[in-house]
Every structure is written in structure tokens, then in C-alpha cells.
Amino acid sequence: MNITLAAKESLIKKARAYAQKHNTTLNKLIRDYLIRLVENGNHDSDADYFLALTKRVEGDSKGWTWNREDIYEF
């Protein structure tokens, strides 16, 4: 099934650039978001959503490390 999405052109361009940077398509990003929304939805709060998201997302620091003193140098 196809749907039509209305959004500002600038938002679509940024989203497509984001998708390309992450080796995917805008269509797949939206489809994956909808799947997560209906399969993992029903979060009572933003905190619940955040905690559920952190369980699914894998991070990659690419070897970068930091310590408490480093964060205060900025």
C-alpha cells in the first residue's frame, strides 16, 4: 500500500541526506519507524520511550573515549 506524506521541502531534503548518510532510503526510515511505533508503542512517557529505544540501538564510539575532565574542556 502506498501513502502520501506532506512535509516541507527542506525537511524532506534533510531527511533524504540523513538516510543517504546512513546507507538507507527515506522510504525505509519511515517504514521502520512505523513498524517500531506499532510493535513497540504504548509508552506512557518520553522516558519510557527513551529507555526502550536504548535497548534496541547499538552504539559505536569508533574507539573514542572520554573522561570527566574532557567534557569540561569545551
Residue 36 domain-assigned (yes or no): yes
Whether 38 is in a domain gets the answer: yes
Concatenating the DSSP letter of every residue in 4-61 gives -----HHHHHHHHHHHHHTTS-HHHHHHHHHHHHHHS---SSHHHHHHHHHHHPPP--
pLDDT tens readout for residues 20-40:
999 999 999 999 888 877 776
Total count of domains within the chain = 1
Which positions of the chain have pLDDT values less than 70? 40-44, 73-74
Its pTM stands at: 0.52
Residue 31: inside a domain, yes or no? Answer: yes
**Residue 68 domain flag:** no
The residue range of the domain holding 25 is 9-55
In a domain, 4, yes or no: no
